[in-house]
Amino acid sequence: MGRLTTHVLDIANGCPGAAIRIDLFRPGQHDAITSITTNADGRCETPLLENETFTVGEYELVFHAGEYFNKKGQEDGEHRFLDRVVIRFGINDQDQHYHVPLLLSPFGYSTYRGS
């Protein structure tokens, strides 16, 4: 059975992205499928989707990066350069594991399909 997981690494501070709120949406829908917060290791305690909720289609992960950096005392003026990082991706096979990690800094990010 497939599942969707994620984790966050704070590459600016060289540590896991702990206590980052993440929302999962279907594009065009206003209500989140789920909202979760990363643990001390920058990971989520449970998959974001699994079993019958893990279906083929498009999804969006919204990482609340601005809140995270503000809590760390890294203010960036009135308008933060990166406030929310949105990653839109597709799931084509509900029997696979889709892992979407985020490498994050206040001024840039990177992602990839992990394992």
User: What is the full DSSP assignment across 39-81?
Assistant: -TTSB-SS-SEEGGG--SEEEEEEE-HHHHHHHTT---SSS-S
Report if pTM > 0.75.
yes
**Domain extent listing, the chain:** 3-111
Rounded Cα gap, residues 107 and 13, in angstroms: 12
Here the tokens at position 39 are: 């643990």
Q: pLDDT of 44-101, one tens digit each?
A: 999 999 999 999 999 999 999 999 999 988 877 778 899 999 999 999 999 999 999 9
Do the Cβ atoms of 61 and 22 come closer than 8 Å?
yes
CATH number of 3-111: 2.60.40.180
Q: Write out the two tokens for 28.
A: 């065009």
